[in-house]
Amino acid sequence: MAEVERKKRLADYGLHSERLLMRRKEPGVFERELGDLEDKLMLTTLEKAVAWAQGHSIWPDTFGLACCAMEMIAIVSPRYDVARFGAEVFRSSPRQADLLIVSGRVAHKMAKPLRQIYDQMLEPKWVIAMGACASSGGMFGNYAILQGVDKIVPVDIHVPGCPPRPEALLEGIVRLQEKVIAGVPPAYEIREVAS
Amino acid sequence: MHVSWETVPGFLHEREEHGETTIVVELERLGEAALHLRDELGFNFLADVAATDYLGWNERPVAGYWGSGTGRDINRPGSWGLARKPEPRPERFSVSYHLLKLAAGAREAPRVRLQVWCEDGDPVPSLISVWPTADWHEREAWDMMGIRIEGHPNLTRILMEEDWEGHPLRKDYPLGGEPVRFSSEE
Amino acid sequence: MAVVERAKIYEGTRIPSPIPTVLRVDPALREEGDILQVNFGPNHPSTHGVLRLIVDLNGEQVVGLEAVVGYLHTGFEKNMEQKTWWKAITYPARIDYLSFQYNELVFVLAIEKLLEVQPPEKATWMRMLLCELNRIHSHLIWLGTGALEIGAISMLWYCFRERDAVLDLFELVAGTRMHTRYFQTGGLAEDIPPGFFTECRKFVDYFPRRIDEYEAILDRQQIWLERTRGLGLLSADDAIALGQTGPVLRASGVEWDLRKVEPYLAYDQVDFNIPVYENGDVYDRYKVHMDEMRESTRIVQQCLDGMPEGPWIVDDRKIVLPPRDELHTSMESLIHHFKLVTEGYRVPAGEVYVAVESARGELGCYVVSDGGPRPWRVKFRAPSFVALEATATCMSDALVADLIAIVGSLDTVMGEVDR
C-alpha cells in the first residue's frame, strides 16, 4: 500500500520555543537539557499522553498584582493571543486553575494570601514568577517586598523583565509547556522553597 | 497671596519660596487654624498630608555647584563649591498639610502649605472633622512616621500589617532587603 | 422595555461618621437582620489589583463596608531616599503603573522647580504629547477592564487592541513599552527618533473612530445603562470634602481640571475642553472618560502640529550629561560627566509640592531636599488613595452586584494606593 505523502506541519518542525523565530537554530541549552531529561524519565505512552494533554491546556489563575499584571492581561489581547497555546481561560478560583503566574511585586502583607492561593490549587500545579520583582525582589530591595516568591512557593519558570514584554511571558509559558510535555515534574516535587 | 496670614490662630511665621507659601502654626492650635483656613479663608480642599522626619538633617555639610539656567550666582556661597549646611530645623518631625481653594469653574488655584512641627510622641490633633479626607492620610502618617494623631477614630496601620513594629519611613529605620548573592560566589 | 428610573443625586451629605471611610452597620439592623460578612479579596476576579473589601450584607444589600489596603506596599519613598536624584526617577513610574509617565513627570517637574531650571520648548511639548497618550492608554485599560467586570467582555479585546497601538508608539520613542523613563531633569533623555511623528499622526487619525465604535457599543445598551446609571452617587460637596479630583469630581458636576486652572507644561497653548457631567454616578464617570479620550486626541494632534524645533534637553552641564563626542576633547566635560555619573547633581535645599492632572486626578509630589545628591523626602499624593476613601460614601444603598461596578468606576490603581 502506497504511503500517503504527509505535508509538513508545524509540529514536524518542532514547536520549540527558540525555533519559532529562528528556524535553523541549533537546539539551545534549554532544549538540550529537556531532551536529556526526557530520555532519562522514560515515560510510558499513557503518561506521555497525559503530559501532552496537561501541557496544552494549562489554565492560569487571575493573580495580577502590579505592572506585570498589565502585560499579563496583554497576552490575552488579540495581538499576543495566548489562546493558541491553550491557556486563555483565566480562572478566578484557584481551585480551578493549574498555573499561578505571580505577576508583580509581592509585599510581605500579600505573602500570606499568595501562599493560601497556592495551597488552594489542586495538583498538578505550576508557578511562573513573572518579572524581576517576583523572581528576586526586583529594584525594591527593602523592608516591604518579598525578595523573590521562590521563598514561599516553588517556582517552575522565572521570566525576566521589568515588565517582561508579552512575548517574553509567552515564551515562559511555552517553555513551561515543553517542560510539562517532556515529563518534568512540577517544581513542588523537585525542590523545596528557597531559603 | 495678598491675604495676611496673621489672622490664622497660632500663626508663627510664613515662608515663601519657589512660588509656594508655607505657614507654620503652633501644634496646639492646629485644629483652630484648620477651621479658620477652611471657613474664613476658603481652603476647602485638603490635597495631601506629608510627614517628614528631619533626624540627621544638618549634620553633614553639602558642597557643590548648583546649576542654574543662567549660570552660577557668585553671591551664594554654595555656588563656589564651599561646604554649606542647610538651615537647621526646629524639631524632628514636620507635618505639612497641602491645602487648595477649589471652586468649580475657577481659573486659579490658590494653594498653601500649613505646617506644624513636633517631636517624637507629641500628639497632633486630627483634622477629620475639618476635612474628612484626612482620615487615611493621618493613618498613613501614623503608620509610616509614627506621628501620633489625637482624636482619630480609627488610628490603625494602613499600609503595613497590623502587628508590624516600627515606623518604616523614619530615618533610623533601616531600608531592609537582603544582600544579593551571585551564583559565581558559591 | 421599561427603563429603570434613574436615581437622582442626593442632597446633604452621605459621608459616614464617625469614620468617614467606613460604612458601619446600623446596630438596630444588626439585631433584627441576618448580616453576612463577606471578604472580597485581596485576590479577586475583578482586575483592580489587590484591594480587600470587608463587606456586610443584608441579603443583597450592602450595609457595611471597609476597605483594607497595603497589600502592594512597596516602600517607594524610602527606596528613593537612598538613590541619587537621577536614579530615583526610575522609581515613580511603577507607582501608578497605568499612567506611568505622569509619575515621572511630576517628580521631574518637582526637581526642576527646586533647581529653577526651565526645559526647552521641544521637551515641554513632547512631554505633553506623551502624557496625553498615556492618559489615553490609562482610560483604555480602565474601559476595557471596567466593562469586563460589568459583563461587556468584548470591550477588553477592543481596548487592548488600541492599547497595543499606544504602547507601540511608546516603544518607538523610548525603547520600551511600559515604564519608559524618558523624562530627565531638564528635558528628555534622548532626542525624538525619526518616524515617530508619522506613526503618531496615523494613530491620531484613526483613533476617534474607535472611540465612536466603543460608544456605539455601550452608550445606549440597555444592560450597560441599567448597570451603571444611578449607582455610586457622589455629590459635589461630598466629593470635595473627600478630596476627590479627576474624572470622579468632574462626573459630580465640578468643573475642575489642573490643566486649565494651574496650567503646567504647555497646556495654556493648546485648545481643549473639560467634560463635566452632573449626575455623579457610574455612567457619568464613564462618559467623562470617553470624552477625555477624545480631548486627549485633540491635544496630541495639536502637539504634533505645533511641535517646536530645538534641543531636547537644557544645556546646563551641572545637571545634564555632556554629549559624548565632547568627552574626547574637553577636560571640563570629562569632569562634569564624572561628577554627574558618580555622585549625581545636587539640588538646592528646599521643599516643593507639584501637582499634575493625571488620568485619575491630582497627582502630587512633595519633595524635600537638603542640598545633597539624594532626595531627603519624597511623598506622592496618589489620587487613587483618596478615591478609595470615597468607597463607603458611594456604596450607600448599593447592591452587592453593583459593588464591583462602583469600585471600578473610581478608577483605582493599587500601586498608587499603597506606594
Domains in chain C (CATH in brackets) are 76-314+346-418 (1.10.645.10)
Q: If you count residue pairs, one on A and one on B, with CB atoms under 8 Å apart, how many are there?
A: 27
Nearest-CA residue of chain B relative to C67?
B158
Tell me the pLDDT of chain B averaged across its residues. 82
In the predicted model, is pLDDT for residue A66 greater than 50? yes
Q: Do the Cβ atoms of C22 and C393 come closer than 8 Å? A: no
Instruction: Please report the residues numbered 71 through 100 in chain B whose beta carbons come closer than 8 angstroms to any beta carbon of chain C.
Output: 78, 84, 86-87, 96, 98
In the predicted model, is pLDDT for residue A160 greater than 50? yes
Nearest-CA residue of chain C relative to A71?
C178
Q: What is the pLDDT of residues C309-324, one digit of tens each?
A: 888 888 877 788 888 8
In the predicted model, is pLDDT for residue A4 greater than 50? no
Q: What is the pLDDT of residues C186-223, one digit of tens each?
A: 889 888 888 899 999 999 999 999 999 999 988 888 98
Into which CATH architecture does domain A45-190 fall?
A: 3-Layer(aba) Sandwich (3.40)
Whole-number pLDDT of residue A88: 76
Q: Do the Cβ atoms of C395 and C65 come closer than 8 Å? A: yes
Of A136, A137, A143, which has the smallest distance from its Cβ to B175's Cβ?
A: A143
pLDDT band at B18 (very low <50, low <70, confident <90, very high): confident
Closest Cα in chain B, distance from residue A135 (Å):
13
What is the rounded average pLDDT of the residues B38-56? 89
Instruction: For the beta carbon of residue C196, count every other beta carbon within 10 angstroms.
Output: 17
Q: What is the percent of chain C with per-residue pLDDT over 70, rounded to a whole number? A: 97
Domains and CATH numbers, chain B: 5-57+75-175 (3.30.460.80)
Is the four-CA dihedral C13, C18, C21, C24 of positive or negative sign?
A: negative
Closest Cα in chain B, distance from residue A92 (Å):
25
Nearest-CA residue of chain A relative to C176?
A165
pLDDT band at C296 (very low <50, low <70, confident <90, very high): very high
In the predicted model, is pLDDT for residue C408 greater than 60? yes
Closest Cα in chain B, distance from residue C159 (Å):
32
Query: Is C15 in Cβ contact with B169 (below 8 Å)?
Result: no
Whole-number pLDDT of residue C3: 47
Nearest-CA residue of chain C relative to A74?
C160
Query: Is A144 in Cβ contact with B176 (below 8 Å)?
Result: yes
Lowest mean pLDDT among A14-23, B37-46, C216-225: A14-23
**Regarding predicted confidence, which is higher, A39 or C403?**
C403
In the predicted model, is pLDDT for residue C1 greater than 60? no
Whole-number pLDDT of residue A11: 44
Spatial separation of the C-alpha atoms in residues C377 and A70, rounded to whole Å: 29
Q: What is the percent of chain A with per-residue pLDDT over 90, rounded to a whole number? A: 11
Q: Chain C interface, mutation test: which of A61, A62, A73, A100, most C Cβ atoms within 10 Å?
A: A73
Q: What does R_g of chain C's alpha carbons equal in angstroms?
A: 23
Query: Is A65 in Cβ contact with C70 (below 8 Å)?
Result: no
Query: In sequence order, what are the residues at sequence separation of 6 or more whose Cβ sits closer than 8 angstroms to the Cβ of residue C360?
Result: C96, C99, C138, C246, C247, C383, C384, C387, C411, C412, C413, C416
What is the rounded average pLDDT of the residues B87-95? 85
pTM for the structure as a whole: 0.89
What is the rounded average pLDDT of the residues A33-46? 75
In the predicted model, is pLDDT for residue C31 greater than 80? no
Query: Is C113 in Cβ contact with B18 (below 8 Å)?
Result: yes
Instruction: Please report the residues numbered 111 through 130 in chain B whose beta carbons come closer than 8 angstroms to any beta carbon of chain C.
Output: 111, 113, 128
Query: In sequence order, what are the residues at sequence separation of 6 or more whose Cβ sits closer than 8 angstroms to the Cβ of residue C29?
Result: C35, C58, C63
Q: Do the Cβ atoms of C104 and C92 come closer than 8 Å? A: yes
Helix axis angle for A67-74 and C154-174, nearest 10°, is 120
pLDDT band at C92 (very low <50, low <70, confident <90, very high): very high
Closest Cα in chain C, distance from residue B24 (Å):
14
Query: Is B177 in Cβ contact with A141 (below 8 Å)?
Result: yes
Query: Is C348 in Cβ contact with B66 (below 8 Å)?
Result: yes
- Residue ranges in C307-382 assigned as alpha helix (H): 331-342
Nearest to A120 by CA among A192, A159, A63, A76: A63
What is the rounded average pLDDT of the residues C351-370? 91
Q: What is the pLDDT of residues C232-287, one digit of tens each?
A: 888 888 888 888 998 999 998 888 999 988 898 889 899 999 999 988 889 999 99
Nearest-CA residue of chain B relative to A140?
B177
Q: Give the 3-state secondary structure of chain B.
A: CCCCHHHCCCEEEEEEECCEEEEEECCCCHHHHHHHHHHCCCCCEEEEEEEEECCCCCCCCECCCCCCCCCCCCCCHHHHCCCECCCCCCCCEEEEEEEECCCCCCCCCCEEEEEEEECCCCCEECCCCCCCCHHHHHHHHHHHHCCCEECCCCCCCCCCCCCCCCCCCCCCCCCCCCCCCCHHHC
Spatial separation of the C-alpha atoms in residues A8 and B180, rounded to whole Å: 48
Nearest-CA residue of chain C relative to B108?
C261
pLDDT band at B81 (very low <50, low <70, confident <90, very high): low
Whole-number pLDDT of residue B56: 82
Nearest to A73 by CA among C71, C366, C83, C141: C141
Angle at C143 between CA C139 and CA C145, to 5 degrees: 115
Any C CB within 8 A of B180 CB: no
In chain B, residues with a C-beta closer than 8 Å to the C-beta of C117 are 67-69
In chain A, residues with a C-beta closer than 8 Å to the C-beta of C75 are 140, 142-145
Whole-number pLDDT of residue B51: 92
Whole-number pLDDT of residue B161: 87
What is the rounded average pLDDT of the residues C327-348? 85
Nearest to C37 by CA among C13, C14, C8, C66: C66
Q: What is the pLDDT of residues C157-185, one digit of tens each?
A: 899 999 999 999 999 998 899 898 899 88
Nearest-CA residue of chain B relative to C366?
B50
Backbone angles phi, psi at C249, to 5 degrees: -70, -40
In chain B, residues with a C-beta closer than 8 Å to the C-beta of A151 are none
In the predicted model, is pLDDT for residue A129 greater than 80? yes
Closest Cα in chain B, distance from residue A114 (Å):
15
Query: Is A140 in Cβ contact with B168 (below 8 Å)?
Result: no
What is the rounded average pLDDT of the residues C357-378? 90
In the predicted model, is pLDDT for residue C20 greater than 60? yes
Query: Is A143 in Cβ contact with C72 (below 8 Å)?
Result: no
Whole-number pLDDT of residue A195: 45
Tell me the pLDDT of chain C averaged across its residues. 87
Whole-number pLDDT of residue C231: 84
Whole-number pLDDT of residue C211: 92
- Extract the C-alpha cell encoding C259: 490643566
Tell me the pLDDT of chain A averaged across its residues. 81
Nearest-CA residue of chain A relative to B175?
A142
Alpha carbon distances (Å) from B32 to B27, B38, B130, C33: 10, 10, 10, 42
In the predicted model, is pLDDT for residue C384 greater than 70? yes
What is the rounded average pLDDT of the residues A125-129? 91
Of A64, A79, A139, which has the smallest distance from its Cβ to C47's Cβ?
A: A64
Q: Do the Cβ atoms of C48 and C414 come closer than 8 Å? A: yes
Whole-number pLDDT of residue A16: 54
Whole-number pLDDT of residue C125: 93
Query: Is A142 in Cβ contact with C79 (below 8 Å)?
Result: yes
In the predicted model, is pLDDT for residue A13 greater than 70? no
What is the rounded average pLDDT of the residues C78-95? 90
